Amino acid sequence: MEQMKNPSIKLKGQLDQQDYEEINGLQKYCVMEDNVTLKLELDYKWSKALDKNVDMNKINEFMFYDEGTLIGYIGVCQFGRETLEVNGMVHPEFRRMGVFNRLFSLVKDEWYKRKLTDMLLLSDNNSLPGLEFIKRTGALYDNSEYEMYLKGESNLGSALNNLILRKAINKDAKEIARQNTIYFQVESVEEDLILPEEEAKRGVDIFIVEIDNTIIGKVHLAVNDGIGGIYGLGVLPEYRRKGYGREILIKAIDYLNERQVNKIMLQVAVKNKNALDLYKSCGFVETSKMDYYKLSK
């Protein structure tokens, strides 16, 4: 175990290139050493680095250094208006030295400055240090999410010709928000609406799913480091149990394969049995489980 010699803390509203590279390097080391998954959203954050709409008075990046080397990090993401998501890590050689405690105390200070009711603390289900820390905070279990990867050739068959994925434009923002409320209980207000054309600049393509010019669902697709991601997939209640979820998945996988990705992954709530069964039947395999714990003001 190392001994700290000259510790320091850096707080920032958003990442620059050096921050991204240092945090990404620490993440790769921790993942390799601990064999766990971290949900830091680094690529998405880095894609927003030049976003002039970011409120620089809000601290989202909490970094702990010793003699100029990054040894600890917590990042926060705000999705919707009521919840902050928190995930982080400490270099294995610098654990049990109060690094994470110090950073988390600063995260809590930031949380209390914001008009947010809840904070979600994330940990891989296999990370004993992460789960132990969360329990000490008094946070209560909220939900879990599987990360799944497509193994081998998909077992999907061919898609219906009359189902199309139309690339969303900014005029679709309210429809996307409406569907997110239905699928994920995420409320949005005007100033927080996801703008598809802005998301596309950050590498996330949002598609509205239509049949005969009628909207039946949506899906978000992204490519990072050769990995294709499928997110936010949903079918409106009145169109469920007709096989459309499978059809959207076919189109999504075809789209990502056209971009020559090495792997395809998605995330699904553990409690969403119907979606989980669909993904398994199509060749997706669970690779990790992320647990979410909630702290409320």
User: Taking the CB of residue 28, how many other CB atoms lie within 10 A of it?
Assistant: 11
- Taking the C-alpha atoms of residue 198 and residue 48, their distance in angstroms, rounded to an integer, is 9
The whole-number pLDDT of residue 218 equals 98
Cβ neighbours of 105 (radius 10 Å): 11
For residue 232, the one-letter residue type is G
Look at residue 104 in the predicted model and tell me its pLDDT.
Answer: 98
The pTM is what? 0.86
Residue 168 and residue 206 in contact, taking contact as beta carbons nearer than 8 Å: yes
User: 118 forms bridges with which residues in the sheet?
Assistant: 83, 296
The H or E element that residue 45 is part of is helix 42-47
Write the single-letter amino acid at 256: L
Nearest to 106 by CA among 72, 69, 157: 72
For 279, the 3-state DSSP assignment is helix
- Which domains does the chain carry? 7-138 (3.40.630.30), 150-289 (3.40.630.30)
Encoded tokens for 104: 């988390």
The SS3 of residue 277 is: helix
Contacts of 294 (CB under 8 A, 6+ apart): 118, 119, 120, 121, 139, 140, 141, 142
| Residue 232: burial class (beta carbons within 10 Å; 0-12, 13-18, 19+) | buried
What is the per-residue pLDDT for 12?
Answer: 94
pLDDT at residue number 184: 84
pLDDT at residue 175, as a whole number: 95
Question: How many Cα atoms sit within 13 Å of 100 on the Cβ side?
Answer: 20
* Pairing mode of beta strands 227-235, 263-269: parallel
Q: Dihedral of CA 3/5/9/14: which sign?
A: negative
In terms of C-beta density within 10 A (0-12 exposed, 13-18 middle, 19 or more buried), how is residue 273 classed? Answer: exposed
CA–CA gap between residue 28 and residue 38 (Å, rounded): 9
Any idea which residue has 């902050």 for tokens?
Answer: 84
Q: In whole angstroms, what separates CA 27 from the centre of its chain?
A: 15
pLDDT of residue 228: 96
pLDDT in tens, the chain (297 residues): 678 889 999 999 999 999 999 999 999 999 999 999 999 988 888 877 656 555 667 899 999 999 999 999 999 998 666 689 999 999 999 999 999 999 999 999 999 999 888 999 999 999 999 999 999 999 999 999 999 999 976 556 555 668 999 999 999 999 999 999 999 876 666 666 888 998 998 889 999 999 999 999 999 999 988 999 999 999 999 999 998 999 999 999 999 999 999 999 999 999 999 999 999 998 999 999 999 999 998
The number of residues making up the chain comes to 297
